[in-house]
Structure 1
Amino acid sequence: MSFTDNEKLRLTLEGVLVGIVSGIIVSMFRWSIAHSLKIFQGLYIAARSNILLVVGLILLMIIVAIFVGYLLKKEPNISGSGIPQVEAQLGGEMQMNWWSILWRKFVGGIMSIGPGLFLGREGPSIQLGAAVGQGVGELTHDNKGVNQRVLIASGAAAGLSAAFSAPIAGAMFVLEEVYHNFSPLVWITALASSVSANLIALYIFGLQPVLQVPYRYSLPVKYYWHLIVLGIILGLMGRLYQIATLSMPSIYNLTRLPRYIQGIIPLLMIIPLGMMFPQFIGGGNEIIVNLAQYKISLLLMLGLFILRFVFSMMSYGSGLPGGIFLPILNLGAIIGAIYAIVMNQLGLLPINFESNLIIFAMAGYFACIGKAPFTAIILVTEMVGSLKHLMPLAVLSLVAYIVVDLLNGAPIYEALKERLNINSDFLNRVSKFNDRLELPIYEGSSIDGKYIRDIPFPKEILVVAIYRGERQLIPRGDTLIKAGDRLICMVNAGQRAKVFRKLKDLIDGID
């Protein structure tokens, strides 16, 4: 099953449509959250001297928790960031009702993130975009397996692009973290969607970078050793973040509350936090931008990190609709600031480079937790609005990634996906439909340099094509597999995820 130029063009144009619609929806989502947060910050400040307002806020949070809990009970797949669900959907392990996801995630996300919980808008934005992609596929009758997944992937890219005004990172994230496949078809469609969505976001929010962290100097090469040390620290803290995040559902279960109503705990706790620290609540955009300007003591900075870390765990662990993307960047920025202050007090680094380390640490922390270093580097570059940091970003991200890898840390979204309740009835229902798998052959693969007849492919698949660059080969027994090839296989849709793992182990040489 191959794609003609006309089919590729049609998918790309549909990707543009997905990007435009996703851009509008995610921009509305982003705007609503930002303005809700401002309103709630004002209410928290006013509640300091008004007991009736405190009572009113408590009642409001209970109502919000019950309503969002109702949404979660009706549609459990809107829980959390939504990225693990999108990964499972693209892997053929899960099917969604796109309209049910779209409106419930939109409403539930605003109601959960708006009051100031330490949740990000980007995960929900990715799921909103994926739902749009699925909807466009179904409404245009382009809902056969591979085309549907391409549009879902492009919608996810558009969602991240509109959430952060980062079109290249949006496309890269889908390829590196969500789709796990650098397919040219997915790449060009995702890029078309990302750029289209970003145009909408730029029209609404302007050209200013999302995280315009002020800095005056580039980091001299003589201070690059700090990147190694900071990278190790970020890697260790990143592994701690992974462990804590994956442990939170078990901790919440100790409350004996039904899963769908556990969000009442962080929603009630945000009231005293908002009254005491209104400037430190929410996803953390403003904290990152102003971090170097706070000029606060090391002790207070450590307190800020503990506050953000603990309540981020509580917010996300409750299962409310909201992401961890921006909170991860926020925690990374705080770690960078703490490191700069400590090194300055030790006389090892001028404080002028604090802003630099804040920027670098954001990328490093996300690179090791999500295990998506390219996305981290590109995302922070686009969000900060400067290309001057590419080399230190790369060094720091690489070190942090290696540390987490040595500690056996898995990509956080993939680990969360493994904990989803996959509907086996769905897999049985779709098993009679054919689907398409595309896998790249890497340098050093165990099947590199072998003839097709000598490769023990799983019996559930049929190799139908091999792409070598832009050239398509019809596979025969004496066809030689080479590094850089892309294998195109047909498989039963219900067995897609299982067969994909078998093929990947075969290509990687894992018994």
Structure 2
Amino acid sequence: MKVLIADNDKLKLTLGGVIVGILSGLVVSAFRWSIARLLVVFQSAYTAARSNVILIVALLVLVIVVGLLVSCLLKKEPNISGSGIPQVEAQLAGEMELKWWPILWKKFVGGILGIGPGLFLGREGPSIQLGAAIGQGFSEFTKENGVSKRVLIASGAAGGLAAAFNAPIAGAMFILEEVYHNFSPLVWVTALASSVSSNLIALYVFGLRPVLDVPYKFSMPIKYYWHLLLLGVVLGLLGRLYQVVLLSMPALYSKTRIPRNLQGLIPLVLIVPIGMMFPMFIGGGNGIIINLTNLGTSLKLLIGLLVLRFVFSMISYGSGLPGGIFLPILNLGAIIGAVYAVSMHSLGLLPLAFESNLIIFAMAGYFACIGKAPFTAIILVTEMVGSLKHLMPLAVISLIAYLVVDLLDGAPIYESLKERLNVDSNFLNKASKLNDRLEISVFEGSSIDGKYIRDVPFPKDILIVAIYRGEAQIIPRGDTVIKAGDRLVTMVNAAKRAKMKKIMEDLIN
């Protein structure tokens, strides 16, 4: 039984990551382009419908037809619902089995139809699921199983995010921080290879301009850093509110008595009057972020925009339509930053010239606390705005916002959404054959640091096959001492992988 990954296998997986990244880049670029073009068409139609009753009726009929088409896709494949990130996390954790081809084409079509009319949904979650499906399809084509298959799925997910946002480093970091929660070298290298190759395709299609080319005049002086602390607290409080409301939306929708696959009709019908009144404020929100500083200093306008984006983001995502929350979260963070900057300027506490800075910082802080992935947030915003000048303030505000949500017992939003998925119990109760690889890191302060392997009460359904200490590989024995920084390589049953991971993490904490 082959349990460890040899150097030639690492090279093979890295090359596989490059191929998966190229394929993900092509698919996600087409997905991204289609949504952008369809949104422009709908914005023009909403504007024209203001004085044309016939066009209003036609738009209502059109969005209902779109909703019915998407509902058919959801009924046949419920796992294309929402962003798709929780499904990818469950699949990589060994809690779900997904069929890649139905996911790929139905998410592609359903995402375009669901997001294109202007709903407050993002393209990045679906892009991650599209990339993961491509990685799974490639692994099945090359007949990879176990750890190699999961690594290729993860690399596809990283490539999907990279192409969606032109953010290759953040794509790889998201997989490590949000999905795996550890820095496995094997996953890191393969995901990075996929992200870079996928991003090259996206850059060829969309150009070198940053996705969020927010103009700013000056770097923020140290004397104004106290604003980062205060804004971080505000972001943390509003981030926890976001988590609570978003997780309550399925229960609220269930009270409508409308079947789950048809609930998307509600936001699709509502987007018609919203689009007619505010055509410039619909969609995922990247255009809003770029133009926020052009809206002036009206707090009434900015707060109204914040309420509109928050409420309808909840209605859009809560319906279960294929679409993500990644970009809407960044959008809300940017608006909160603008509201804060204008408020402080009106009080004479901050020059308005730093509004752009706080917009950029608040995007990272808001995503850091809601997703509880601060490193991803910092790198993502850095890549999206195309500047390295904001690393220190991004780190400060992300840390403060993260700590506030942590003190309020907020969990990572994608982890919380994953726990609400309908997992097939038959899949989790398969035979106890040790046929999958699980890697666990021993952190500083772990309860098993300094102990002999024979003295640690490891579960019976797990077999320790190797210990990595830096680049050195140690064959474990009963008298082998475990040290902080070690990576324990174990064999588990694939169907019990998530359960064993939780047991091991509890054991070593």
The TM-score with structure 1 as length reference comes to 0.99
CA distance in 2 between counterparts of 1:38 and 1:245 reads 28
- Residue 38 of structure 1 is matched in structure 2 by 40
**1:54 maps to 2:56:** yes
Instruction: Name the % identity.
Output: 73
Q: What is the 5 A alignment of 1:334-349?
A: 334-349=335-350
- Residue 92 of structure 2 is matched in structure 1 by 90
Residues 143-184 of structure 1: CA deviation (Å, up to 9, x unaligned): x11111100100000000000000000000000001222100
**1:135 maps to 2:137:** yes
* Corresponding residue SS for 1:340: helix
Matched residue type, 1:474: I
Note if contact 1:430-1:493 (Cα within 8 Å) is conserved in structure 2. no
Q: What is the 5 A alignment of 1:7-156?
A: 7-142=9-144, 144-156=145-157
Q: What is the 5 A alignment of 1:160-309?
A: 160-309=161-310
CA distance in 2 between counterparts of 1:427 and 1:405 reads 31
Deviation at 1:431, TM superposition (A): 4.9
* Corresponding residue SS for 2:22: helix
* Corresponding residue SS for 2:181: coil
Residues 373-404 of structure 1: CA deviation (Å, up to 9, x unaligned): 00000000000000000000000000000000
Q: What is the 5 A alignment of 1:392-411?
A: 392-411=393-412
Matched residue type, 1:55: V
* Corresponding residue SS for 1:453: helix
Note if contact 1:153-1:179 (Cα within 8 Å) is conserved in structure 2. no
Matched residue type, 1:96: L
* Corresponding residue SS for 1:422: coil
- Residue 377 of structure 1 is matched in structure 2 by 378
Deviation at 1:296, TM superposition (A): 4.4
Matched residue type, 2:98: M
**1:488 maps to 2:454:** no
* Corresponding residue SS for 1:44: helix
Question: Structure 1: 5+ residue runs without aligned partners?
Answer: none
Distance 1:11 1:255, change over 3 A: same
Distance 1:78 1:433, change over 3 A: farther
CA distance in 1 between counterparts of 2:429 and 2:456 reads 28
CA distance in 2 between counterparts of 1:253 and 1:412 reads 20
Matched residue type, 2:244: I
CA distance in 2 between counterparts of 1:61 and 1:155 reads 32
CA distance in 1 between counterparts of 2:174 and 2:263 reads 30
Note if contact 2:249-2:315 (Cα within 8 Å) is conserved in structure 1. yes
* Corresponding residue SS for 2:467: strand
CA distance in 1 between counterparts of 2:305 and 2:431 reads 49
Note if contact 2:434-2:491 (Cα within 8 Å) is conserved in structure 1. no
Deviation at 1:425, TM superposition (A): 1.7
Matched residue type, 1:61: V
CA distance in 2 between counterparts of 1:88 and 1:264 reads 28
Q: What is the 5 A alignment of 1:431-510?
A: 431-432=432-433, 434-508=435-509
**1:354 maps to 2:382:** no
* Corresponding residue SS for 1:447: coil
CA distance in 1 between counterparts of 2:63 and 2:42 reads 11
* Corresponding residue SS for 2:491: strand
Distance 1:382 1:316, change over 3 A: same
Note if contact 2:333-2:366 (Cα within 8 Å) is conserved in structure 1. yes
Deviation at 1:427, TM superposition (A): 2.5
CA distance in 2 between counterparts of 1:23 and 1:230 reads 36
CA distance in 2 between counterparts of 1:419 and 1:218 reads 42
- Residue 363 of structure 1 is matched in structure 2 by 364
Distance 1:431 1:207, change over 3 A: farther
The TM-score with structure 2 as length reference comes to 0.99
Deviation at 1:420, TM superposition (A): 0.3
Matched residue type, 2:292: L
* Corresponding residue SS for 1:472: strand
The count of aligned residue pairs is: 507
CA distance in 2 between counterparts of 1:430 and 1:353 reads 60
Residues 269-292 of structure 1: CA deviation (Å, up to 9, x unaligned): 000000000000000010000001
Note if contact 2:122-2:326 (Cα within 8 Å) is conserved in structure 1. yes
CA distance in 1 between counterparts of 2:92 and 2:371 reads 18
CA distance in 2 between counterparts of 1:147 and 1:239 reads 36
CA distance in 1 between counterparts of 2:320 and 2:337 reads 29
Residues 48-68 of structure 1: CA deviation (Å, up to 9, x unaligned): 111111111111111111110
CA distance in 1 between counterparts of 2:64 and 2:154 reads 36
Deviation at 1:430, TM superposition (A): 6.6
CA distance in 1 between counterparts of 2:64 and 2:315 reads 17
CA distance in 1 between counterparts of 2:133 and 2:226 reads 44
CA distance in 1 between counterparts of 2:431 and 2:346 reads 62
CA distance in 2 between counterparts of 1:398 and 1:338 reads 21
CA distance in 1 between counterparts of 2:232 and 2:429 reads 45
Note if contact 2:166-2:203 (Cα within 8 Å) is conserved in structure 1. yes
State the superposition RMSD in angstroms: 0.7
Note if contact 1:78-1:101 (Cα within 8 Å) is conserved in structure 2. yes
